[in-house]
Structure formats: C-alpha cells, structure tokens
Structure 1
Amino acid sequence: MNKERDYFFDNLKAVLIFLVVLGHFLLPIRGDNPLVVVKRLIYVFHMPLFVFISGYFAKKIYKNGQYNFKKILYLLKAYVVFVVAIQIVYAIAGFEKFTEIDFFSQSGAPWYLFAMIVWYLTIPLVRKCKAVPVLLLTVVLALTAGYFKNVGDFLCLSRILVFGPFFYLGYFLEQKTLEKALQPKLQRLVVPCAEAICIFILAYGARLKDSLGMVYENISYYELEEVWKGPMVRLSLMIAAFLISWAIMFFIPRGKTRLSVIGQNTMPVYMLHRILRDILMFAGIYDYLGDWGWIAFFILLGLSAGIVYVLNNSHVVNQVNRILALHTPQLIRNLKRQRAR
C-alpha cells in the first residue's frame, strides 16, 4: 500500500460510492420486481463497509490530546445542508411542506453524516480501551436495540447502534492487521463463503424482506413473525456484511487507478446524487422503470456510473467544498493534475 497516499482505500471508496448511488436509484423499485432482491443484496454490505472505512480513518480525529473539531463542524454543516436540500426538493414536488423539516429524525441518506458525528464524539472515550471489549459491547447494543420500538430514526439511533461495530472495528484495526487479513491464503476461504451468502440472498431474498431490512430499514424485531429470532437474524446479517466486505477488499487494486480520484472526493457524490434521484422519482421515471425488469437495471447501472463521473468533476467538487467552507485551490489543482495524467 502506498505510504504517501493509500490508494487502496481510494479505490475501495470509489466502488462503494457507486454502489451507494446504484442502491439509492434502485430503492424506489418495490413489489415483486427482481431488482428488489439485487437492491437488498447491495444494502446488506455497502454501508457497513463504508462505515468501516470511516472508522479506519477516524484515528486522526483525536490525536496528541487535541480533538479535530473542524471535522465535526464540517460534518454538521454537511448534514444540515443535505437535510435542507432534500426537504426543498420534497416541498417543490408537493410531497411535504418545507416546515415539516426534521433535523432530529432522519431515515434517508443524511443519517450517515449524523452518525459519523456521534461516532467521532465517542472516540475520546474508547481510544484507551481495548478493542475486544468495545467491539463486544457494540455488538450487544446492536443486537439489543431491536427489542426497543422507540430506537429508530430519532437521532438516527438505530443505525448508530447497528452500524457501530463496523465503525469501531475500523477504528481499532491496524494497517499491519489489515494486510495480514488480505493475504491470498485467506482469500481462498473468505471469497467462497461470501459468494455462497450472495447466492443465498439472490435466491431467497424475495422471501426475506423483513429479515434483510433488519439493518437499513430500521425494522425492529417486532416486525418479524417470531420476535425471538430477531437477534439471530441481525447477527447473521452483520456476519454476512463482514464476510462480503472482506471478500470485496481482496479484489480492490492497491495502486493508483482512475478510481482513485473518485474515491478521494465522495462527499459531493453522496450528497448530490440523492437529490437527483428524488427529482427523477418525482418526475415519474419509476412509473416506467418498475415494469422494465432487468432492462431497468442496466439503465440505472449506466445512470449511476454517469452520475458518479459527473459529480466527481472538479467544478462540482469545487462548488460543494465552497458551500461546506472547505474549498482549497490546491485541492482543485491536484484534481485537475491527476485527471490530466
């Protein structure tokens, strides 16, 4: 892995941001459409892996007794701007009134930014703790949360608890340990397990709607036919997310690629693609796509790739960073220089 910049994670983030966009464009498709199962498979692992990466790079948030409040303020501003922008689109479409905006309860894409703030704020508390007790505690909290119906979208509490183990796993994981985990001999074990899980989800996903929604839809255990199975279902999903995420990392390039630039600037894509999706949704595009089956999938696949490319343009990155008060001319110059190579 590159000592100056870890292009491995840049490449991985590029793949994940594409899956985030594709997943959100598939989200409005419901019912018996086969694409619903594909969507559920993506949602099993793409955000857990993204959260893991966020935890891995959170080691610098509190260093030498100093807390990086600039990062917290950046996320807070991004969260507020994101929520306001989405509410404006909903208000213009007549779906909701702008006055119904709620900064304390989010079930959509902004939850990740709010959760990041909370996880970052806990780092001074856990930084001196041993990894195993923290990870065990967060897993217990994730499994217990499903028994409480009021643990849901308010303060993004459900996702904070359920995705928490992935964040702290990334935070405590050292680079040497990660490199050992990505050795070829482990690939021969992990990848077949992940493939089997993916095949199972694709084959039986239509029957497991509530179970597969145990994480990303904030479904409590009481939504299941048998409540007592809740912790086992959630734990199974967490293990599935862990194994699929681990398997994906074996195939990510270690060096600099065209994906690297995309992976370095995922925030504009993360914020703006959701707004574009909502505009297309309110324009009625899904009234047609819902009946097109796999043709719709390839249309949304190409659309997602195009959106990732366009929103990663240096001009878009420039404007988003201006809004979030983190615009730096050097960043834009570096982007242009990298694209010119």
Structure 2
Amino acid sequence: MSVATPLRAVLPPASARDPFFDNAKFLAITLVVSGHLIEDLRDVPAAHAAYFFVYTFHMPLFIVLSGYLSRNFTFSSGKARKLISTLAVPYVIFELIYSLPRLILYGKLDISLLDPYYLTWFLMSLFLWRLSTPVWQQLRWPLVIAVGLSLLSGMSRLPDELSMNRTLGLLPFYVLGLMLRPEHFEWLRRRWVRVAGAVTLAAGAVLAFAIHTSVKTEWIRWRHANDVIGVDDLTGSLIRLGMLAAGALLVAAFLAITPSRRTWYSGLGMATMYAYLLHGLVVKVAERFYGDWSQTLPGVVAVALFGVGLAALLCTAPVRRVTRWAVEPSMSWAFTRLRRPA
C-alpha cells in the first residue's frame, strides 16, 4: 500500500510503532492483490462489482497514508537518498523485471523509463508527489488547489510519460494525507465513528453492485481524459469530483474499522511494498491458467482468497530475504558520506 510510501514506512522500532498503520497497510494490500487477480474475471457480475468497489478507494487509501507519512519530507541529503533508494531505484529495477514476460512470451522488449508499465506507475507518481511536498506545505489552500489541478488534468489528453493523468488526477489524496494529523486518526477510532464506517462500507458495496454496469471502469483508473472516456469536460469534472469525494469517504470508513491493536498481520504490514511489487508477476502467470472454473462465483471467491494468502506470503521474512536486492536495494555504495553538522 519508508515515509516515501504507505507500503513501507520508515518508522521507529517495531516496539514503538503504531500497529494501526501496519494493519491498514496489510488489509489494503490484500485488496490490491485480490483486485488484480479478479480483474480478468469481470465477466462474472459479482467480480465486476467487487472490482469496481475496491478500485474506488484502495489506491486512494495508500496515497492518503503516503501523504501523511511524508509530512516531514525535506530536501536534506539523507531524505533525498532515501527517496532515490526506496522509489527511484526499485522503479527502474521493476520496469526491467516486468518487461521480461513480454520478452519471453512475445519476443518483444519495450522499455521506457518515462512511461511506467503496470504496477510501477505508483512508484513514479509517488516520487513526483514527494518532491512536491514542500510546495504544498507553503500554500494556504493546498487541497483546493490540488482538486483544481485534478479536475483540469481531466480536460487534457496528457502524455503517458510520468503517468501524468494518474499523478495529477490522484494528487488530492496525497495532499489530503499531508494535511492530516494524529488527532484525526484518533477521532476515527471512536466507537460511533467505527460503526458509521462499517455502515458506510456496506452501503458503498451495495451501491457498487447496483451501478457497476452503468459506470465506465475507466473512472476508477484515472488514466484518461474526459473526452477519451466519452464525456464533455463539465460532466467529466462533476464525475471526477464525485469520485474524489467517494474515495475520501471510503478511505475514512476503511480506516475507521481498521483494528488499532496489534494483530497477527501487523508485522506483515511492515513489509507490504514486497507484496505490491512482486504480486504482479504472480498475477501475470495465474491469468494464463484461468479456465471455466474461474468464471463462476465460487471460482471468483477462490481466486480472491488466494489473493489474500498471496499477499501474506509475499510479506514474510523468507520472501523478503530473497528479493530484498530489488525491493530494498542497498545503495550506500552509490552515495558520498553524509557530512555531520559542525
């Protein structure tokens, strides 16, 4: 889902960590993994509705947490190096890794580091959002400006380079995270808010099942301009504003029902960047084995449950040890020594 990302936060030692955020990250990454696994099963109405519902808020959730955990970002040398080693270098590595299946299966090697492929768009966008952090912290109405930029981005066919549509379209969620304070999360833990959160998520799921066939899924992907989706700019702006509001509401509801105590998966929530970056490889392989059995409601449920198990597995210590070179590469050799202040 380092302070550079909600999926891997640089926080105090485990004993001092607030398990609430680790719980939220793990629960969210299970939605991401399961959502990607059922993406090719959307001919089943329940799968299409679940996909629509989850995609309305699962990446906004990560982005909000990203902004919250990035509040202290500066251009100091230490944090700049962390930005490079936790986002820029893994981005390059996984751009290359995800190009290998296309090379093996189709004999096509197509690499463009400025045009993110598949899951890597999030690393690119997060890199750019974090660089902009000091700017947003100087503005008087940052969220209003971010929403305005999001709506304006839908009025133009922005280039695919730097994942511009998603970077600008989802920007308000990052800025919202920057504006949050610990007391806001404490408020979400009140009993009546938790109950309201559960009701809101249930109502959102029911609504998603009711309207999923009449709303184009491109609205939840934030990839294209209004005219590409087939609407004028006024209609598109109103829909985008509604999607921003719905995403923020569902993020708050999800966080409200997230356990604040330490759970069996709290430790896994400390390493969800591994699940995020690695699960795409499994998804690409699994999709080739889908058959008639998967095009049924029991099949969709089985695939979704497999996603939960896969997310947990990819966060475990053995997987981390084997893949740390790609997800958390050691880059100390590439930097000069940090100078201690006099």
Give TM class, smaller chain: 0.7 to 0.9
Q: Which residue of 1 aligns with 2:173?
A: 166
Q: CA deviation at 1:71?
A: 2.1
- Counterpart contact for 1:214–1:220, Cα < 8 Å: no
Moved more, 229-238 or 31-40: 31-40
Q: Which residue of 2 aligns with 1:43?
A: 55
Q: Which residue of 1 aligns with 2:340?
A: none
Which amino acid in 2 is paired with 1:213?
Answer: E
TM-aligned CA distance change 1:128 to 1:146, over 3 Å: closer
Q: Which residue of 2 aligns with 1:126?
A: 136
For residue 314 of structure 1, the aligned residue among 312, 317, 329 is 317
Q: Which residue of 2 aligns with 1:138?
A: 146
Q: CA deviation at 1:164?
A: 1.0
TM-aligned CA distance change 1:327 to 1:309, over 3 Å: farther
Task: State whether structure 2 residue 224 is matched by structure 1 residue 213.
Answer: no
- Secondary structure of the residue aligned to 1:62 is coil
- Counterpart contact for 1:89–1:279, Cα < 8 Å: no
Q: Which runs of 5+ in 1 are unaligned?
A: 329-341
- Counterpart contact for 1:265–1:312, Cα < 8 Å: yes
Which amino acid in 1 is paired with 2:134?
Answer: P
Q: CA deviation at 1:56?
A: 0.9
Which amino acid in 2 is paired with 1:252?
Answer: T
Cα deviation, 1:25-68, whole Å, max 9, x if unaligned, reads 112234464312211111110000011111111123328x6660
Cα deviation, 1:134-167, whole Å, max 9, x if unaligned, reads 1111101111111112x25321111111111111
Q: CA deviation at 1:298?
A: 1.7
Q: Which residue of 1 aligns with 2:6?
A: none
Q: CA deviation at 1:217?
A: 5.0
Task: State whether structure 2 residue 170 is matched by structure 1 residue 178.
Answer: no
- Counterpart contact for 2:73–2:134, Cα < 8 Å: no
Q: CA deviation at 1:327?
A: 9.8
Question: Within 5 A, what are the aligned runs for 1:230-249?
Answer: 230-249=236-255
Q: CA deviation at 1:181?
A: 4.0
- Counterpart contact for 1:107–1:153, Cα < 8 Å: no
Cα deviation, 1:70-107, whole Å, max 9, x if unaligned, reads 2211211111111111110121121x611x11221125
- Secondary structure of the residue aligned to 2:319 is helix
Which amino acid in 2 is paired with 1:44?
Answer: T
TM-aligned CA distance change 1:296 to 1:152, over 3 Å: farther
Q: Which residue of 2 aligns with 1:333?
A: none
Q: CA deviation at 1:224?
A: 4.3
Q: Which runs of 5+ in 2 are unaligned?
A: 1-13, 333-342
Q: Which residue of 1 aligns with 2:112?
A: 102
Task: State whether structure 2 residue 165 is matched by structure 1 residue 154.
Answer: no
For residue 295 of structure 1, the aligned residue among 280, 295, 298 is 298
In structure 1, how many angstroms separate the alpha carbons of the residues matched to 2:270 and 2:163? 26
Q: Which residue of 2 aligns with 1:71?
A: 82
- Counterpart contact for 1:318–1:327, Cα < 8 Å: no
In structure 2, how many angstroms separate the alpha carbons of the residues matched to 1:141 and 1:223? 18
Q: Which residue of 2 aligns with 1:285?
A: 289
- Counterpart contact for 1:269–1:308, Cα < 8 Å: yes
Task: State whether structure 2 residue 233 is matched by structure 1 residue 222.
Answer: no
In structure 1, how many angstroms separate the alpha carbons of the residues matched to 2:139 and 2:230? 39
- Counterpart contact for 1:54–1:167, Cα < 8 Å: yes
Query: TM-score, normalised on structure 2?
Result: 0.85
- Aligned-residue CA RMSD in angstroms? 2.3
In structure 2, how many angstroms separate the alpha carbons of the residues matched to 1:111 and 1:39? 19
In structure 2, how many angstroms separate the alpha carbons of the residues matched to 1:215 and 1:145? 15
- Secondary structure of the residue aligned to 2:236 is helix
Report how many aligned residue pairs link the two structures.
316
Q: CA deviation at 1:204?
A: 1.4
Question: Within 5 A, what are the aligned runs for 1:255-274?
Answer: 255-274=261-280
In structure 2, how many angstroms separate the alpha carbons of the residues matched to 1:306 and 1:226? 40
TM-aligned CA distance change 1:123 to 1:322, over 3 Å: same
